Structure 1
Amino acid sequence: MRALSEVHAVVPAGIDDPALPSGGNAYDRRVLDGLRALGWSVTEHPVPGPWPRPDAAATACLADLVAALPRESVLLVDGIVASAADGVLVPAAQRLRLVVLVHLPLGVTTPEAAAAEGRVLAAATAVVTTSAWTRGVLLDAYALTPEAVHVARPGADRAPVASGSPDGGRLLCVGAVTVHKGQADLVAALALVPDLAWSCVLAGALTREPDVVDGVRRQLASCGLSDRVHLVGPRVGAGVERAYAAADLLVLPSHVETYGMVVTEALAHGVPVLATDVGGVREALGEVGGGLPGVLVPPSNPAALAVALRSWLTDPGLRERLRRNALARRDTLSSWSETAGHVSAVLERVGGR
C-alpha cells in the first residue's frame, strides 16, 4: 500500500439514508470506501440543502467549508452540488485542486443550469464521469480539455444467480418513481398486455416527486392493474437483493440515464434487462458473444415497450437466449475496486503524486 494521501469529499447530506437510495449516492459511498481501502485519507463533508437547487443557507454552508480547507487541498465534489455552486467553486479552484464527479450533467435535464455547470467544470483541474456517454456529452457541451475528463464506470457485486420462473412473468423496475425514470410509460405498456401472465414490482423512493407517484397510482386504478403492479417503496441492502433474486426481467423505462447501475446490478444476478436505449444504458448492458443480455427499445414509447414485453412473455426461446447472455455478461462485470482505482489514479495526478 502506498503512502497515505488526503482528499476532501463534498457529498450531499443523506448519502447513506436508506429512505433515499440513488445510484449517485451508492456510487459515492462505494468509491469513497474504496479510496480508503487504497490508502487514501478521506474526509467527508456532507452538505445539507435542496441540491441541485440550493438555497442561500446551503450555498453559505458550502462556502464556509471550502474556505476552511488548506491551500492546495484535493477537493472531490459530487456534481449534484458542484454544478450548482459556481459562485463558490470557481473562485476556490484558484487555490484548491478541484475534481468534480459528474453523474448526470445538470444541463441535460435543466438547460438553464448549463452555463453555471460549464463554468465549474472548466475551472476544475479534473472531471470524473461515470460513463463514456457522459464524458462525450460534457465535451460536446462545454469547452473542456479532453485530457482532463475521465471515465470511472460503476462496479457491480457478483451475486447468486436468480432462479427464474418458467413463464418469465416476474417483472422488476428499480428506481425512484419520477418523471425521468418513466414508470408511467411502463404502466401504459403493461396495460397493453393484460392478457398475459405477469406481475410487476416497482421498487424505489415514493417521496421524490409525489405528484408523479399519485399519477401512477391513478393510472394503475384506471387500467385495472392495481393488483398486479406493486409500488413497494425503496429497497436497499438485503431487500434489493431479494428483489433481484425473485425477478425474471429488469425493466428500465427511463427517459434519461447516464449509465444505469440497476442494469449491471440485475446482470450480476443473471437477470436479463429490457430498457430504453438512452444515455449510457447500452454501455452498461454490454455485449457478449451471443449478443445483448437484454432488449433495448426507444424511450417514451409504451407501444414499443409492450411489444418487447409480449415477446419476452410468449417466446421461451428468447427468454432462454437472454438468460444465457445475461449469465455470460455477469462474468465480465467490473468490480467496485476497479472503479475506485480509476478515481484514485485521477486524484493522484491532480495531487501531483
Structure 2
Amino acid sequence: MTEVHVLVPDGIDDPCRPSGGNVYDRRVCDGLVALGWSVHEYAVAGQWPLPDAQARLAVGAALALVPDDEVVLIDGLVASVVPEVLKPEADRLRLVVLLHMPRDEACEVAALSAASAIVATSNWTRRWLLDHYTLPEDRVYVVQPGVDMADLASGSLSGGRLLCVGSITPAKGHDLVLEALATVDDLAWRCVFAGSLKLDVEFVDGLRRQAEDLGLADRVCFTGPLRGAELERAYAEADALVLASRAETYGMVVTEALARGLPVVATNVGGVPEALGHADGSRPGLLVAPGDPQALAQALRRWLGDPRERARLRVAARSRRLALSNWGQASRELAAVLSEVAG
C-alpha cells in the first residue's frame, strides 16, 4: 500500500465555505483512498492564507508527526505562506505542494523552492509559475480537476435563466455581472447568484445596493452557498452559467456547467479558456475581456437575443460534455506524481 500525508486548511468540509480548492482536495484524497493509498490527513487550523503565529506552529507540529522520507502533499493555501516552516523539513520529507492559485509573492517562491514537486491545477498555472519563478520545469506537474457527469439541463426557450456560482467576493466579478445585466434589462432574464455571502460582507452589501440602484433587485437572487441537491437543482433549472472572474486559474464551475450541457458566458482570464475547451473546434460558450462590463453585456445580449446562437452553443456544450475528465482520472494522475516523488 502506498502512503501519503496530506495537510489541508481547517474547514475543508465546511458547507458554509465551499470553494474549488476545498472540493479538489477532498475529491483527490478520496480518490487516492479508492486507489489503495493510505492517506493521513491533517487539517491545520488558521486564517489561511493569513496565518498567525499559532497557525504557523500548527503546520510545523503536523510535519513533525510525519516519519522521515515520507511523501507530504500540502495545499498551496497553507504551503505558500510558511516557507520558514517548510525549508527545515525539505531534506527530511518529500514535500509536494498542490497549488490552486499563485500568490505572486516572494514567500511563495521560497516555499515552492523547498518542495520536491509542485502540482498545478491547470496548464495555465504551470506556465505562470515557470514564467514568474525560477523553478525546474521537471518539478512542476499539472493535474486538472475532474468533474462528475450529471443529467442534461433541459433549458428554457428564452435562455433567460442565468446562474452564477462562486463565493461572493470581488475576485468573482459579480459587480460586473450586475452592471452588464442592467444594459440588457429589455430582455427576459433572471439571475441566481449562488455562493458564500460571508467572506466579504461589505462587498455583498454593496452588491445588494447596486442591484437596487440599477432596478434589478426583483430579477436577481442571492442564495448563499448551495451544495448537494440544492446545487444540482440550480444547475438543472439554468440555461447558462455566467462567470465574470477577474482572476481564475481554472474555473471548476465551468466544467460543472458543461457536465450538464450548459453553455458558459465567461471572462477570458487565466485557465478559464482551458476549462471551457472546444467541441469539434467550436467553443461551448462565449469569452469576453476581463473587467469589461460592456463586453459582457454584448455577450449576454448575443445569448439572450439570438435563438440560433443559443442552439449552436447548446450543441457545442453537449458535445464538450462527452470529453470531460472525471475525478478518478485526476486522482490517478496525482497518484502518478506522488509515486514518482516517492520513488
Q: Which TM-score applies when normalising by structure 1?
A: 0.96
Query: Unaligned stretches of 5+ in structure 2?
Result: none
Matches within 5 A, 1:101-180: 101-107=98-104, 114-180=105-171
Aligned-pair distance for 1:290?
Answer: 5.1
Matched, 1:14 2:6: no
Question: Which residue, out of 290, 295, 303, partners 2:286?
Answer: 295
Runs of 4+ in 1 over 6 A off after TM superposition: none
Give the stretch that moved more between structures: 259-268 or 84-93.
Answer: 84-93
1:230-273 Cα distance to aligned partner (Å, 9 max, x none): 00000111111111100001000000000000000000000000
Q: Does 1:28 align with 2:5?
A: no
SS in 1 for 2:222: strand
* Cα shift at 1:64: 1.0
Residue deviations 1:302-324 (CA, integer Å, cap 9, x gap): 11100111111110000000000
**RMSD after superposition:** 0.7
Match of 1:110 in 2: none
Counterparts of residues 182-331 of structure 1 (less than 5 Å):
182-289=173-280, 291-331=282-322
> Which amino acid is the alignment partner of residue 17 of structure 1?
D
Name the CA distance, whole Å, in 1 between partners of 2:136 and 2:42.
28
- Give the Cα separation in 2 of the matches to 1:331 and 1:46: 35
AA partner of residue 67 (structure 2)? P
Cα separation, 1, equivalents of 2:8 and 2:146: 19
Determine whether 1:44 maps to 2:61. no
* Whole-angstrom distance in 1 between the partners of 2:65 and 2:307: 61
Secondary structure of the structure 1 residue equivalent to 2:296:
helix
Tell me, yes or no, if the aligned pair for 1:290 and 1:325 is still in contact at 8 Å.
no
The offset of 1:179, in angstroms, is 0.6
- Residue pair 2:83, 2:114 contacting (<8 A) in 1 also: no
Task: Give per-residue Cα distances to partners, 1:7-26, cap 9 Å, x unaligned.
Answer: 00000011011111000000
Matches of 2:25 and 2:293, distance apart in 1:
33
Alignment of 1:61 onto 2:58: yes
SS of 2:310's partner is helix
Counterpart Cα distance in 1 of 2:229 and 2:7 = 28
Q: Secondary structure at the match of 2:250?
A: coil
CA distance in 2, matches of 1:316, 1:308: 13
The 3-state SS of whatever aligns with 2:193 is strand
Instruction: Report SS of the residue matched to 2:314.
Output: helix
Residue 336 of structure 1, aligned match among 322, 327, 331:
327
The amino acid of 1:238's aligned partner reads A
Deviation of residue 68 (structure 1)?
2.2
**Structure 1: gaps spanning 5 or more residues:** 108-113
Shift of 1:86: 0.5
State the secondary structure of the residue aligned to 1:266: helix
Kindly provide the CA deviation profile for residues 178-221 of structure 1, in whole angstroms up to 9, marking residues without a partner as x: 01000000000011111110000000000111111011011001
Further displaced range: 164-173 or 287-296? 287-296
| C-alpha contact 1:80 1:106 (8 A) present in aligned 2 | no
Letter in 1 for 2:212: A
Cα deviation digits, residues 56-86 of structure 1 (max 9, x gap): 1111111111122111111000000000110
- In the alignment, residue 205 of structure 1 is paired with which amino acid? S
Deviations 1:90-118 (A, max 9, x none): 111111000000000112xxxxxx11100
Distance 2:258 2:66 in 1: 41
* Deviation at residue 122 of structure 1 after TM alignment: 1.1
CA distance in 2, matches of 1:231, 1:93: 45
What residue number does 2:95 align with? 98
Aligned-partner SS, 1:288: coil
| Residue equivalent to 1:111 | none
Please give the per-residue CA displacement for 1:26-46, whole angstroms capped at 9, x wherever unaligned: 000000000001111001000
Q: Percent identity?
A: 57
How far, CA to CA, are the matches of 1:342 and 1:84 in structure 2? 26
C-alpha spacing 1:123/1:35, structure 2 compared with 1 (3 Å): same
The offset of 1:329, in angstroms, is 0.2
Distance 2:2 2:303 in 1: 50
